Amino acid sequence: MGVGGNVDGLAAEASWAQARLALRFASPAGAPAADPGDAVVDHDALGPLALLAEIPTARLRDQPDVRALDALARTDSGALDVAALEAFCRTGSLRQAAAALYLHHSSVAARLAHVEDALGWRLDEPGDRFRAQLALWARKLAGPLEPVP
C-alpha cells in the first residue's frame, strides 16, 4: 500500500499521485525476504529516494548494476542470493538478515560472498553497500523481469 501526503481536499490529486509513487516502493505480500513493514510505504518517509521513481523504467532496467542483478537472479541460486542481499541491505546486519530469511548466518554469508564475486562489490565498504541498495531500489522500480525465451 502506498500512502500519500496529508493535503487539503482540493489537493487530493497530488496526494493520490504520491500514494501511487509510494506503492512502487512497497514489497508485495509473500515476496522473498520481504519485511511485512515494507508492504506499506509512506511517500513522506521516502525523502529524496522518491526522486528515483521519476526515472523512466526503461532507463532503470538498462542500468548496468540492475542488469547484473537481473542476470544473477536468473541463475540457479541467484534468486536466493539476491534475496540475501535485499535482507542484508534492509537490516544492515548479517545475523539479522539470516534471522529474516530463517537461515544460518553462514549460509547468508556464503550467498553474499557469491553476490560480491558476481557483481564485483565489497559489501563491507559503505559505498558498495549504498550502490547495492540503490541498484535494488532501481530494480524494484523497473518492474518484473521479462521471461527468458
pLDDT in tens, 27-72: 765 555 455 566 788 888 888 988 998 999 999 999 999 999 999 9
Q: Are residues 30 and 68 in the same domain?
A: no
Q: Are residues 39 and 63 in the same domain?
A: no
Determine how many CB atoms are found less than 10 A away from the CB of residue 17.
Answer: 14
pLDDT in tens, 117-136: 999 999 999 999 999 999 99
pTM score: 0.83
pLDDT value at residue 137:
93
Residue 43 · residue 21 · CB < 8 Å: yes
3-state SS class at 42:
strand
Q: Tell me which DSSP letter residue 140 carries.
A: H
Q: Are residues 91 and 110 in the same domain?
A: yes
Residue 92 · residue 98 · CB < 8 Å: no
Is residue 8 pLDDT above 60, yes or no?
A: yes
Q: Are residues 122 and 49 in the same domain?
A: no
pLDDT value at residue 97:
94
Structural domains counted in the chain: 2
Mean pLDDT, residues 8-25 taken together: 86
Q: What is the distance between the alpha carbons of residues 82 and 28, in angstroms, rounded to a whole number?
A: 16
Mean pLDDT, the chain, rounded, equals 88
Name the percent of the chain lying above pLDDT 70: 89
Q: Are residues 18 and 61 in the same domain?
A: no
pLDDT value at residue 147:
53
Domain that holds residue 134: 56-149
Q: Are residues 100 and 149 in the same domain?
A: yes
Mean pLDDT, residues 17-30 taken together: 78
